[in-house]
Amino acid sequence: MSYLKDKCVVLAVSGGIAVYKAIELLRLLTKAGADVHVIMTRSAQEFVTPLTFQTLSSNPVHVELFNLIAEREIGHISLADRADLFIVAPATANVIGKIACGIADDMLTTTVMATKAPVLIAPAMNVNMYTNPIYRENEARLVRLGYLFADPVCGSLACGWEGQGKLAAPEVIFEAALAALSAKDMAGRTLMVTAGPTREEIDPVRYISNHSSGKMGYAIARAAARRGARVILVSGPTCQSAPFGVELVAANSACEMLAAVMSHASRCDVVIKAAAVADYRPVERNASKVKKHSDSMTIELVRNPDILAGLGAMEPRPFLVGFAAETDNLVEYAAKKMKDKNLDMIVANDVSRSDAGFNADNNRALLLFRDGRSKDCPLMSKDALAERILDSIATELNGDRG
């Protein structure tokens, strides 16, 4: 999805072994449509040459404060003015210290000081530098002043130490960049999203499940966090990475998902149930692996609790959005589910086609509302559909249907 079309992003790279990760970040930014201008400090150029960034950004890389060509329009000021977002990644303790103290003695620090755009800083340094009270004060000061941070993660550091200081993954910094540029129409709201399948265990090695990958629910959680919501993502077992800024709660079975959802529901403004919850579970889970004694076997199943119906019966209840995965009679079955489960809205998706629905990257859906209105969402990426669903929820919550 071209999230950053028409956006100018300045990517400022300071010196550290993590410079190579800034290349992947640049790739993500340009893939999302951003016009990226790279600034490199002198020490960053010791790790990777400007040519790499220049080739991938299709823009000249800025390395000198006084460049005769760029200075025709005062390079650092024009770049600072043009930026919609300024990212410093990796950001060394030295560069962060300079920014915090207002020191502007090279292209990076001068431009960041002159910009009015949001500044996102992704630190990378030795764990003892990261925990040093001087660094902590510098970071706290910048946070107070509205600078955004994509915190480093724990791991084994290039210097040989173990601890927090590793540059956040490029995907995480990219998500933080999208969040920095998104309208915050969900700010102040708490949203719970469920995603993925559930697993109903037969014995320690076997289970009953379905083909849900979690992509749809995770796309909604990511988009809602970007739009400023506090997001609780209750997830069945999936291969999806935890979205940036989202509280992830793991639930394996339908009963575990019920417990997780109900423990948070009363504090939520909105619940969106994209999970494909198994309707039945084995009456008994064998404690040890079931042996093959005969040519056939029968497993007795019992109905799982309907989590969404339970939410629909709450008083008061959050704004409730269900999903309906159907292979036939899409509208009729989805409308019945909306009524029976007392929902505000239902996302009806036809899962009979291989280009959409379960495990696909794309989806198509019909959004049905309680008062009989509907909105058609043709085949699009799950990220794009997530935005459409949230647009509709925001409209319903804000009462501005026009």
159 is catalytic: yes
Cβ burial, residue 236 (10 Å; 0-12/13-18/19+): buried
Which residue's structure tokens are 């003015």? 81
Task: Provide the minimum distance between the beta carbon of 232 and ligand PMT in the complex, in angstroms, as a whole number.
Answer: 15
How far apart, in whole angstroms, are the C-alpha atoms of residue 165 and residue 125? 5
CA terminus-to-terminus distance, the chain: 27
Q: Select 142 or 248, whichever has its Cβ closest to ligand PMT.
A: 248
Q: Using the 8-state DSSP alphabet, how is residue 354 labeled? A: T
Please count the other Cβ atoms lying within 10 Å of the Cβ belonging to residue 349.
24
Q: Select 139 or 383, whichever has its Cβ closest to ligand PMT.
A: 383
Q: Select 152 or 196, whichever has its Cβ closest to ligand PMT.
A: 196
Task: Provide the minimum distance between the beta carbon of 356 and ligand PMT in the complex, in angstroms, as a whole number.
Answer: 8
Instruction: Give just the sign of the alpha carbon dihedral 61, 64, 68, 73.
Output: positive
Task: Provide the minimum distance between the beta carbon of 360 and ligand PMT in the complex, in angstroms, as a whole number.
Answer: 7
Q: Select 265 or 307, whichever has its Cβ closest to ligand PMT.
A: 307
Chain-centre distance of CA 101, in angstroms? 32
Chain-centre distance of CA 319, in angstroms? 22
Task: Provide the minimum distance between the beta carbon of 229 and ligand PMT in the complex, in angstroms, as a whole number.
Answer: 19
The residue from 8, 101, 154, 159 that is catalytic is 159
Task: Provide the minimum distance between the beta carbon of 270 and ligand PMT in the complex, in angstroms, as a whole number.
Answer: 13
3-state secondary structure of 47: helix
Name the CA radius of gyration of the chain, rounded.
25
Please count the other Cβ atoms lying within 10 Å of the Cβ belonging to residue 283.
9
CA angle 260, 234, 1 (to 5 degrees): 165
Task: Provide the minimum distance between the beta carbon of 215 and ligand PMT in the complex, in angstroms, as a whole number.
Answer: 4
Which residue's structure tokens are 């040093």? 132
Q: Select 214 or 243, whichever has its Cβ closest to ligand PMT.
A: 214
Binding site for ligand PMT (CB under 6 A): 196, 212-216, 254, 273-277, 279, 304, 306-308, 322-325, 337, 349, 351, 357-359
- Residue 358 near residue 351 (C-beta atoms within 8 A): yes
Q: Select 52 or 362, whichever has its Cβ closest to ligand PMT.
A: 362
Cα–Cα nearest to 47, from 22, 77, 29: 22
Which two tokens mark 224? 């809602």
Which residue's structure tokens are 């970007």? 226
Task: Provide the minimum distance between the beta carbon of 314 and ligand PMT in the complex, in angstroms, as a whole number.
Answer: 13
- Residue 9 near residue 26 (C-beta atoms within 8 A): no
How far apart, in whole angstroms, are the C-alpha atoms of residue 155 and residue 342? 47
Q: Select 65 or 232, whichever has its Cβ closest to ligand PMT.
A: 232
> Active-site positions?
159
